[in-house]
C-alpha cells in the first residue's frame, strides 16, 4: 500500500503543489497514465471546492491532502479548518452542485467534524502495481460588508432550520473553531435542535445574510434557561443589533413562562458582561477555569489567553414572586 500526505496553504500555489504530489504519488504506486489523469481531475476538483468554499478570502488556511492506494482504488481525503458547511453525500443527502459535478469520484462525502474542521473523502478507481501574493488570514479583520446606514434595514426574527449553516458560519467568523460549544459548528445538529425546541434562536438578517445570533437553550422540566451563543458579525457591530437580539430572546423566554434566564459571560469579554447587566441580569457566581485556553474571539486579544479563564454567571428573574431557597442535590 502506498500512502502520502501533504499540507498546503489556501493560496494560489495550492493546486499546483497538490498536482505535483499526485504525479509523484502515481509514479511511486505504479498507476497507469489514464488512471493518473482521472485521479488528478478528482483531486483538483476537491481542492478547488475547498479553496472556493472553505477559504474564499483566506490565503493562510490549512489544507491537508492524503492519498492512499490499494490494489484497485485510491482513497482521497481533503481536510480543512475553514468555513463550516453542512455534511452531504451518502446518508447525508445530495452533494453541493460543485462536488456532484466531479466525475470519477466514488463514495464522495462532505463531513462536518465540528471543531475538527471538515473532510472531503472519495475513492477513485485506479490500478496500482505498488501499493505568492499578499496573504490574509481568517483571524484578521475582514473587509467591511457595508451594512445599511439604518439598522432598521436589518431584520430580527426567530431562526429556522434553513438558518443552521449561517449560524455555524457566523460563529466561525467570530471564534474560528474555538467556540466552547463545538456542536454549534455542526449545521445538522443545529437543524435538529431548532426543530425539537432544544435551541430557540433569534437571528439578525441583512440582504439575505445572517449577521447576528442569540440563543435561548431551555431544558425539559427546568424553569430556567441559558441565553448563549450571542454573536454579531464584526462588520455590523455598533448598530445596536446585540440589544435587539437580546430583547427578542427575552420576549421568547417570557412567552414560555420561564422563572428566570441566565448567562455565562467570559471574563475576557467585558462587553458581554455589560450587556447582561444592562438587561436586568444580576451577577451571582464567578466560575473559575470554565473556558479552555484555546478559545479566541475576533477583535478581543487575537491569540486568546494562555490558560483557562473564568465565566461570570448572571441571572435575570422573570417571575419575581418569593420562593423558598433550596440546595441542589449532592
Give me 138's grid cell: 481568517
Domains for the chain: give ranges and CATH numbers. Answer: 2-125 (3.30.565.10), 151-317 (3.40.630.30)
**pLDDT given at position 61:** 94
Tell me the H-state helices in 133-266.
Answer: 164-175, 187-196, 241-255
Rounded to whole angstroms, the Cα distance separating 168 from 186 reads: 7
Q: Residue 277 in 3-state DSSP?
A: helix
**pLDDT given at position 329:** 84
Residue 140 makes CB contacts below 8 A (sequence gap 6+) with none
Neighbours of 240 (CB within 10 A): 12
Tell me the H-state helices in 54-163.
Answer: 97-100
Q: What angle do the packed helices 33-53 and 14-29 form, to 10 degrees?
A: 150
pTM above 0.85, yes or no: no
Rounded to whole angstroms, the Cα distance separating 118 from 97 reads: 17
Neighbours of 180 (CB within 10 A): 17
Tens place of pLDDT per residue across the chain (330 aa): 688 999 999 999 999 999 999 999 999 999 999 999 999 999 999 999 999 999 998 999 999 999 999 878 999 999 999 999 999 998 888 999 999 999 999 999 998 988 889 999 999 999 888 654 445 555 444 444 444 444 567 899 999 999 999 999 999 988 888 887 889 999 999 999 999 999 999 999 987 889 999 999 998 888 999 998 889 987 777 778 889 999 999 999 999 989 999 988 877 767 777 878 888 899 999 988 877 765 665 544 455 566 788 888 999 999 888 888 888 788
Q: Taking the chain, what is the end-to-end CA distance rounded to the nearest angstrom?
A: 55
In three-state form (DSSP H/G/I as H, E/B as E, the rest C), the secondary structure along 231-256 is EECHHHCCCCHHHHHHHHHHHHHHHC
Instruction: Please spell the DSSP secondary structure of 24-49, one letter per residue.
Output: HHHHHHT--HHHHHHHHHHHHHHHHH
The counts of H helices and E strands in the chain are: 7, 12
Amino acid at each position: 500500500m502506498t500512502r502520502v500526505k501533504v499540507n498546503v496553504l489556501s493560496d494560489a500555489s495550492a493546486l499546483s503543489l497538490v498536482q505535483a504530489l499526485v504525479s509523484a504519488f502515481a509514479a511511486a504506486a505504479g498507476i497507469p497514465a489514464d488512471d493518473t489523469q482521472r485521479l488528478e481531475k478528482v483531486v483538483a476538483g476537491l481542492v478547488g471546492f475547498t479553496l472556493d468554499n472553505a477559504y474564499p478570502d483566506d490565503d493562510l488556511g490549512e489544507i491537508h491532502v492524503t492519498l492512499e492506494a490499494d490494489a484497485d482504488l485510491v482513497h482521497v481525503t481533503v481536510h480543512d479548518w475553514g468555513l463550516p458547511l453542512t455534511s452531504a453525500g451518502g446518508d447525508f443527502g445530495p452533494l453541493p452542485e460543485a462536488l456532484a459535478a466531479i466525475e470519477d469520484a466514488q463514495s464522495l462525502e462532505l463531513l462536518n467534524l465540528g471543531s475538527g474542521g471538515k473532510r472531503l473523502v472519495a475513492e477513485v478507481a485506479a490500478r496500482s502495481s505498488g501499493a505568492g501574493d499578499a496573504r490574509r488570514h481568517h483571524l484578521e479583520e475582514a473587509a467591511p460588508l457595508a451594512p445599511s446606514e439604518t439598522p432598521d434595514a436589518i431584520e430580527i426574527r426567530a431562526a429556522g432550520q434553513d438558518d443552521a449553516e449561517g449560524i455555524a458560519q457566523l460563529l466561525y467568523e467570530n471564534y474560528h473553531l474555538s467556540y466552547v460549544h463545538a456542536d454549534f459548528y455542526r449545521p445538522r445538529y443545529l437543524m435538529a435542535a431548532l426543530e425539537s425546541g432544544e435551541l430557540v434562536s433569534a437571528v439578525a438578517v441583512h440582504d439575505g445574510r445572517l449577521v447576528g445570533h442569540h440563543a435561548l437553550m431551555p431544558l425539559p422540566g427546568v424553569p430556567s434557561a441559558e441565553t448563549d451563543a450571542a454573536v454579531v458579525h464584526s462588520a455590523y457591530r455598533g448598530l445596536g443589533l446585540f440589544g435587539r437580539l437580546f430583547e427578542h430572546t427575552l420576549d421568547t423566554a417570557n412567552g414560555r413562562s420561564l422563572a428566570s434566564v441566565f448567562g455565562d459571560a467570559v471574563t475576557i469579554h467585558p462587553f458581554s458582561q455589560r450587556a447582561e447587566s444592562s438587561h436586568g441580569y444580576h451577577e451571582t457566581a464567578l466560575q473559575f477555569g470554565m473556558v479552555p485556553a484555546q478559545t479566541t474571539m475576533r477583535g478581543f486579544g487575537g491569540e486568546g489567553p494562555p490558560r483557562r479563564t473564568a465565566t461570570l454567571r448572571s441571572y435575570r428573574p422573570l417571575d419575581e414572586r418569593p420562593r423558598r431557597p433550596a440546595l441542589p442535590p449532592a
